[in-house]
Each structure stands twice: as structure tokens, then as C-alpha cells.
Amino acid sequence: MADQSTTPIFKEVPLETPIRRGDTTISTVKVRKPRAGELRGLTLQAIGQSDVNALLTLIPRISDPVLVDHEVAALEVEDLAAFGSAIFDFFLTAGQRQKISELLGS
């Protein structure tokens, strides 16, 4: 079983281009580690490769505040990439995360 202290459950994604929803501006979105059911219809390979269609499907399922399909489809490319990076991190083992940290010197 994975050590919960090294396995992130939430990641914050700061948006370069905030989302306007009525009078509200969303500048940061939390994504939650997906559960098996939320991956339905997707492949781990597509998610790992940050496939655009996979991300467009998955982000509304795991975002807080919940982003709706048209908001996700309108994301700027750098924000979509930030979501992809945050989501990919959920699929790394603690050992892989440690190795990356060592390589980056952090």
C-alpha cells in the first residue's frame, strides 16, 4: 500500500488565464487524485501522454471548483498543460517522485 504521506491527494493548478464565471473569477483550480471510476472510458496511456481528449474528459471529473466542459475546452494551452502535469504526478510512485526531486535538486 502506498504511503499516504508521500502520495498527493490534491494539486493546485494556478491559471495563467483565469476563467470568468459570471461575476466570479477562477484563478486557481484544485484537482483531486482520480479514482478508478473517474478514469472510465480513458486509457492510462492517454492520460500519461497528456492526450488533449483525455484531459478534456478527466478535468471536469476531478476539478474543484468543478469546471464544465465548455470551460475546459476554452482553456489556454499553457493552462491545459499545467493540468496535464498536475494529473500526471498522481500516477507517479513515491520512488519516482523522489528520483525527479533529486534530479531537479529540490
**49-76 tens-digit pLDDT:** 999 999 999 999 999 999 999 999 999 9
**Chain-centroid distance, C-alpha 70:** 17
Predicted pLDDT at 36: 94
* pLDDT, tens only, 8-58: 799 999 999 999 999 999 999 999 999 999 999 999 999 989 999 999 999
Say what the pTM is.
Answer: 0.86
